[in-house]
Amino acid sequence: MRVPLSWLKDYVDINLPVEEVDRLLTNAGLEVKSIDTIGLPGAELEWEADKVVLGQILKVEQHPNADRLVLATVEYGAEETEIVVTGAPNLFQYIGEGDLTDRQLYSAYALEGATLYDGHSEELKKAKLKGRSLRGVYNRSMLCSEKELGISDEHEGIIIIEKDENSPDYQAGTPLVELFGDVVLEIDIIPNIARCSSMVGVAREYAALTGQPVRYPSYDVLMEGPDANARVKVRTEDPELNPRFAALIIDGIERKPSPYWMQHRLRLAGQRPIGVVVDISNYVMLEMGQPNHTFDYDFLRRRADQYAPEGPIEIITRLPHEGETLVTLDGVTHKLQPHNILVTDPISNLSVGGVMGGADSEIKPETTSVLLEAAAWNFINIRKTATQLGIHTEAAFRFSRGVHPSQALLGAKRAAELLRRLAGGTVAQGIIDSYPLVPAAEPITLNATYVRRLSGLDLSTEEIATLLGRLEFDVQTADSEHLLVTAPDHRLDIEGAHDLVEEVCRMYGYGRIPSTALSDNLPPQRGNLALEQEERIKDILVQAGVQETIGVRLTSRAVEALMLPKGSAQDAEPKRYVTITNPNSPDRVVMRQTLMAGLLEATASNSRFQERIALFEVGPVFLVQEEQQLPNEQMRLALVMTGQRDLSSWQDGKAGLMDFFDLKGVLERLFSILHVDVSYEAAEHPSFRPGRTARVRVGKNVLGYMGELHPTVVEAYGIRTEPKQGVMAADFDLNGIISRIPALFPFKPIYHYPAVREDLALVVSADTAATEVEAVIKHVGGFLLQSVQLFDLYEGGQIAAGQKSLAYHLVFQSPSKTLTDSDVRRQRERILKQLEKQIGARLRE
Amino acid sequence: MLAQLNELHAQSIERLNQSTATAELEAWYKETLGRKGSIYLLTRQVGGLSPEERPAFGKQINIVKNELQAAYDSRLAELKGSELQAQMKSSAIDVTLPGRPQPKGGLHIISQTMRDIYRIFGDMGFQIFRSPEVETDAYNFELLNFPPHHPAREMQDTFYTSDEDVILRTHTSPGQIRAMRAYYPEPVRVILPGMVYRNEQVNARSHLQFTQVEGLAVGEDISMADLKGTLTDFARRMFGAGRETRFRASYFPFTEPSAEMDVTCFVCEAKGCQLCKYTGWLEILGCGMVHPMVLRNGGYDPEKYTGFAFGLGPERITMLKYGITDIRHFWENDLRFLQQF
């Protein structure tokens, strides 16, 4: 909300510098989002005291040589008056009116050399005022619009202030900065300070913070003429939804613009002046927070003639009938919902209560009598209605955050009195006031110990009472420890003692509360094993040269479907996803069920810039569960590797492209550090390339898959590859890994007896898996065999087709003696024999 | 003869010192101390001396021999050293050439920031508790004192799912209820990290997902003063020992009193700069005393227990620390971004 300090000062004295006002309000929860300075030193456009002054317009004549220019005689406190040439359209009405001195017309007058904004420029452009001849008349000064002074965007005409009994004592020549220099604070109205959605509301907080009283506006109204209650009757069908409906009738209103001071304030507060009736309505809402609405009284009366020719107008607030519609004053037809509370008469509806008026009953240019309504509405109902109808008016904003019914009467009276004074109306005797539900003010018991427990402040009941009293709370002492506190009407946010503690803290100052270290009992320390292991896995992969990524967890079915080439078995099965019903992008509609798709998208975008890509992500996927409201958020680990094995350098040639075994090496490192004993077996998976895919298991349990991705998948994600460049990927159930990390594992002793190394070159059939060969060697080698390492794989040449050669380093060592040649020979022969017997292996010649 | 020996000694030393290469030195050795060298030749002349003179001369010749040997050894070491030096100098490399590049992995910067947060709060006894990202309306809102249609719900644009009671959590706060329900009646001191979701347009300043770390402490003797102390300690460890904090009143449905914590700007040392919008302060986190209704929903009697809660955004902290101005970098996974950290 925009709060001009000049307006605020009507209700409270402000003597502190602006920075201090900002600090006080911000620390108390009224966050000042921005500060707009107008005319004063520090403003974007400073008004020089000797060059921009108040001028009085004494005479307006037609320019002798130009139809669209006038000559205005201006008195500005100097010895002689000055003639100003101007095209301001709002001066033409005074041509030929002769001497205007008694009309008391004032404007902003700028002398030669003053710096102003160029009123004809779209953006804010400063220019220095220079004298020049305009169609034969020399002009060296200017009457200004608000835009030229940086007050608002208004540039329809110059500022014209008609002095009246409500105006300050204007004197020509007074520096304008003294009269209209201002500061506008933009305050963020968060839900619990809805009470500050008005000048009085902000003034009340400022007054409490600085220990001053509030000067409330006068709510007196001069009523005369016939009795209003004989002319209008109000019936409330649902007091819960409409606790109060207050109304006054004002007759004989003159339709004209509102006075300059009101227009000026409205514009500073961000509202556009429209005419005196609407402006007063908005002004009262901004001033004291109660929204109000004016109906065309004559329209209501004409309708009443149909249902009660002799009787009063009947106003009924009710819920809609089935299928009822209403055209709001912006011309939109709304289909009403069962909860929309309406203001109606026996014939039809008139407005959506608290949200927006109807088109039929709105005031028209010829309207002279109005029914002024100020009501109270249920805030939740207003919120639902405003959201559902898509109407976000200033009134709906306030009502949907809560306005106390007590304010309705005050607002109605204030607006009626202003209509009387500024629009020449007569307020009919008597206030129509239907108030079926008076909220009960429940006192809250506040205990000094509780204040201390919650705030850490050691305050006496007297101190607490004083702090709350500044905010107009009614505080009674129950006993030495307890206070009975009743919140003022405007505090709808106070529900319990905890709310009062916040008020005590705000008034005492959050900054003055001490800072202490927690001294309460420490809970039992448990750690979070899953997270600790997860972090450890991330560290191991990072050390292996893989970069962690974090992807967007909202995706689309289409992006995930790219993982499964068309026609694959899984492709046919529709998946159930956690699906967003209000997405803001077609690409972000479901919660992901795989990490792979996001990683491949990242790989694709990186493939335009990187020669080597190695990425992993650890995170949840969201699997819909039968019979469960919430999905299974399964933690997974996925990796992608592609591109050059080594980064290119000035020194060596490239080491080639990464392949299956680069990825497998990273995985072996991971599982070896974790002491998870996994096995790899050839497998098929629709996302992976046939023949280069492995299933990774622990015992019988599958942890995931790894391999080279199917070229169709690589292409589908748009990953740029060189010829023969494969994209390696792996995808694991993370908890499957973590649950198999042993808490403890035995240390392997180091033996001191000499080790003997034996090489074994075997020929086996080409389809024999390396793990089978190794398994036999290890099994037969027994405890003497310390290690087995494949060091060569060879096919072709002397090796017959359909066969391959595998060569191993074997290391034998005994824990208890030095092995002899014959010991080793015996072991070697046993191994060979079993290899031949079990897998038909023979020694390579 | 003695004079001859002394002269030989002096000449040999001089020649030795003049030699500049190990090869020259080898030749000197041969001529001087070698099998047919000048010392040997002089020894052969001992026979020409009187028996009285012989012992003294023999002793002297041994001294000279030893001295020359020592001088030779030292000169040899010296020359070898300088020859090695010269050889090394001639095979110098350009040390400014780039090194052989090593493939580099890295933790995502948000993981790094998370770990900083874990460590600091871990030292204060806060344990890590994780809870679901897809949540029920009850946990995300109602149990946290956001009634249906409450204005506070408007502060968070929610993603709804096809099950009307299931939403994407808009904050990590539902974990407060889950942690309290898991730990009741023990005291609670947890941090709740994780991804949250808001229905916002993706642009430089907002994203539809971001991480949060919630903190919660519940016990029989926890006050707003403890909240200030704990979070000020956090701010000083996270942003530097000299940081000041400012707490100002704010609003969250699940805390009362509520506050925002600002930290003195660490870029300009609170003098005012673009980052802190010339206020000297950076907004870091929201916090407050746990609302009695939330305590009750977690199983704790607000007559007996109090607690504080806070929530902070690792992306915001990271952006402030490194001067990152576009939040989209975090989830784009561009290696040119990720590998800088």
**Chain B residues with beta carbon closer than 8 angstroms to that of A552:** 208-209, 331
**Does residue A511 sit at the B interface (CB-CB below 8 Å)?**
yes
pLDDT < 70: residue spans in chain A: 567-573, 653-654
Query: So what's the pLDDT on residue B194?
Result: 97
- Is the distance from CB of A607 to CB of A600 less than 8 angstroms? no
Considering its fold, how many domains does chain A have in total? 6
A751 within domain boundaries: no
- Is the distance from CB of A740 to CB of A698 less than 8 angstroms? yes
A649 CA to chain B: closest CA distance, Å? Answer: 6
Query: Which structure tokens are listed for A329?
Result: 């004053």
Query: Which structure tokens are listed for A526?
Result: 């448990």
Q: Which of B133, B183, B200 sits opposite A523 (nearest CB)?
A: B183
**Does residue B149 sit at the A interface (CB-CB below 8 Å)?**
yes
Strands A161-162 and A244-251: unpaired
Domain with A409 in it:
223-434
CATH code of A156's domain: 2.40.50.140
Instruction: Give the predicted TM-score (pTM) of the model.
Output: 0.87
Residues A191 and A270 in one domain: no
Give the C-alpha separation, B76 to B68, whole Å. 12
The size of chain A, in residues, is: 845
Query: So what's the pLDDT on residue B156?
Result: 77
Q: CB distance B160–A582 less than 8 Å?
A: yes
Q: Which of B189, B209, B219 sits opposite A552 (nearest CB)?
A: B209
- Name residue A466's amino acid: T
Element containing residue B298 per DSSP (H, E): helix B292-298
A515 CA to chain B: closest CA distance, Å? Answer: 4
Query: Which structure tokens are listed for B30?
Result: 């041969």
A344-402 tens-digit pLDDT: 999 999 999 999 999 999 999 999 999 999 999 999 899 999 988 999 999 999 999 99
What ipTM did this prediction achieve?
0.88
DSSP B76-101: HHHHHHHHHHHHHHHT---TTSPPPP
Q: Which residue in chain B is spatially nearest to A399 when comparing CA positions?
A: B151
A695 within domain boundaries: yes
Residues A495 and A587 in one domain: no
**Does residue B142 sit at the A interface (CB-CB below 8 Å)?**
no
Strands B306-312 and B255-264: unpaired
A218 within domain boundaries: no
Interface subset of A 627-686, CB within 8 angstroms of B: 629-631, 633, 646-652
End-to-end CA distance of chain A: 92
Rounded to 5°, angle at Cα A564 from A561 and A567:
110
| A–B interface: beta-carbon pairs under 8 A | 269
Element containing residue A538 per DSSP (H, E): helix A529-543
Residues A559 and A706 in one domain: yes
Q: CB distance B188–A523 less than 8 Å?
A: yes
DSSP lists the bridge partners of residue B210 as B196
Burial class of residue A645 in the structure, from the number of CB atoms within 10 Å of its CB (0-12 exposed, 13-18 middle, 19+ buried):
middle
* Residue B30 DSSP symbol: H
CA distances from B219 to A462, A510, B175, B300, B305 (A): 28, 22, 17, 9, 5
**Can you point out the beta strands (E) in A710-841?**
727-733, 756-765, 785-794, 803-812
Q: CB distance A514–B225 less than 8 Å?
A: yes
B285 CA to chain A: closest CA distance, Å? Answer: 14
A420 CA to chain B: closest CA distance, Å? Answer: 36
DSSP A589-611: -EE-S-SHHHHHHHHHHHTTT-S
B140-151 tens-digit pLDDT: 999 999 987 777
Residues A154 and A276 in one domain: no
A205 CA to chain B: closest CA distance, Å? Answer: 13
Q: Most B CBs within 10 Å: which of A541, A552, A637, A652, as the mutation test of the B interface?
A: A552
Q: Most A CBs within 10 Å: which of B169, B244, B248, B308, as the mutation test of the A interface?
A: B248
Q: Which of A190, A499, A622 sits opposite B256 (nearest CB)?
A: A499
Q: CB distance A453–B223 less than 8 Å?
A: yes
Q: CB distance A549–B333 less than 8 Å?
A: yes
**Does residue A501 sit at the B interface (CB-CB below 8 Å)?**
yes
Q: Give the max Cα distance, chain A.
A: 135
Residues A426 and A338 in one domain: yes
A708 within domain boundaries: yes
The size of chain B, in residues, is: 341
Helix axes B224-239, B109-123, angle to 10 degrees: 130
Q: CB distance B221–A520 less than 8 Å?
A: yes
Q: Which of B130, B160, B200 sits opposite A580 (nearest CB)?
A: B160
CA distances from A87 to A60, A66, A409, A796 (A): 11, 10, 46, 100
Residues A228 and A336 in one domain: yes
DSSP lists the bridge partners of residue A352 as A342, A356
Burial class of residue A607 in the structure, from the number of CB atoms within 10 Å of its CB (0-12 exposed, 13-18 middle, 19+ buried):
buried
Q: Which residue in chain B is spatially nearest to A29 when comparing CA positions?
A: B249
B249: confidence class by pLDDT, cuts 50, 70, 90: very high
Query: So what's the pLDDT on residue A182?
Result: 95
B37 CA to chain A: closest CA distance, Å? Answer: 52
Q: Which residue in chain A is spatially nearest to B251 when comparing CA positions?
A: A192
Query: So what's the pLDDT on residue A654?
Result: 66
**Does residue B269 sit at the A interface (CB-CB below 8 Å)?**
no
Residues A649 and A734 in one domain: yes
**Does residue B105 sit at the A interface (CB-CB below 8 Å)?**
yes
Q: Answer yes or no: is pLDDT of B217 > 60.
A: yes
Q: CB distance B134–A591 less than 8 Å?
A: yes
B217 CA to chain A: closest CA distance, Å? Answer: 9
Give the C-alpha separation, A454 to A471, whole Å. 20
CATH code of A762's domain: 3.30.70.380
Residues A261 and A245 in one domain: yes
Helix axes B2-18, B22-32, angle to 10 degrees: 170
A642 within domain boundaries: yes
Give the C-alpha separation, A427 to A419, whole Å. 8
Q: CB distance B166–A578 less than 8 Å?
A: yes
- Name residue A735's amino acid: N
* CA dihedral for B22, B23, B26, B32, sign (positive or negative): negative
DSSP A392-445: --HHHHHHTT---THHHHHHHHHHHHHHHHHH--EEEES-EEE---PPP---EE
A522 within domain boundaries: no
Mean pLDDT (chain B) is 92
Interface subset of A 526-585, CB within 8 angstroms of B: 526-528, 531, 535, 538-539, 541-554, 578-585
User: B60 or B212, which is more confident?
Assistant: B212
B40 CA to chain A: closest CA distance, Å? Answer: 53
Q: CB distance A535–B332 less than 8 Å?
A: no
Query: So what's the pLDDT on residue A294?
Result: 96
- Is the distance from CB of B261 to CB of B231 less than 8 angstroms? yes
Q: Which residues of A490-526 are buried (b: 16+ CB within 10 A; e: fewer)?
A: bbbbbbebbbbbbbbbbbbebeebebeebebeebeee
Residues A189 and A258 in one domain: no
Give the C-alpha separation, A350 to A340, whole Å. 13
Give the C-alpha separation, A109 to A118, whole Å. 15
DSSP lists the bridge partners of residue A758 as A810
Query: So what's the pLDDT on residue A376?
Result: 97
Q: CB distance A518–B226 less than 8 Å?
A: yes
> What average pLDDT does the segment B215-241 reach?
96
CATH code of A490's domain: 3.30.56.10
Residue (of A401, A316, A392, A327) closest to A361 by Cα position: A327
**Chain B residues with beta carbon closer than 8 angstroms to that of A526:** 127
A576 within domain boundaries: yes
Query: So what's the pLDDT on residue A844?
Result: 86
Residues A195 and A173 in one domain: no
A520 within domain boundaries: no
**Chain B residues with beta carbon closer than 8 angstroms to that of A190:** 155, 250-251
A722 CA to chain B: closest CA distance, Å? Answer: 19
Residues A713 and A604 in one domain: yes
**Chain A residues with beta carbon closer than 8 angstroms to that of B136:** 629-630
Q: Which residue in chain A is spatially nearest to B228 when comparing CA positions?
A: A515
Return the half-sphere exposure (C-beta side, CA atoms, 13 A cut-off) of residue A654. 10
Query: So what's the pLDDT on residue A569?
Result: 61
Helices (runs of H) and strands (runs of E) counted in chain B: 12, 9
Q: Answer yes or no: is pLDDT of B232 > 90.
A: yes
Query: Which structure tokens are listed for A583?
Result: 């997405």
Q: Which residue in chain A is spatially nearest to B127 when comparing CA positions?
A: A527
Q: CB distance A519–B221 less than 8 Å?
A: yes
Give the C-alpha separation, A207 to A8, whole Å. 11
Residues sharing a CB contact under 8 Å with residue A735, sequence separation 6 or more, in sequence order: A530, A634, A635
CA distances from A222 to A206, A262, A417, A426, B148 (A): 31, 21, 7, 8, 43
Residues A649 and A779 in one domain: no
* Residue A337 DSSP symbol: P
A487 CA to chain B: closest CA distance, Å? Answer: 16
Q: CB distance B161–A523 less than 8 Å?
A: no
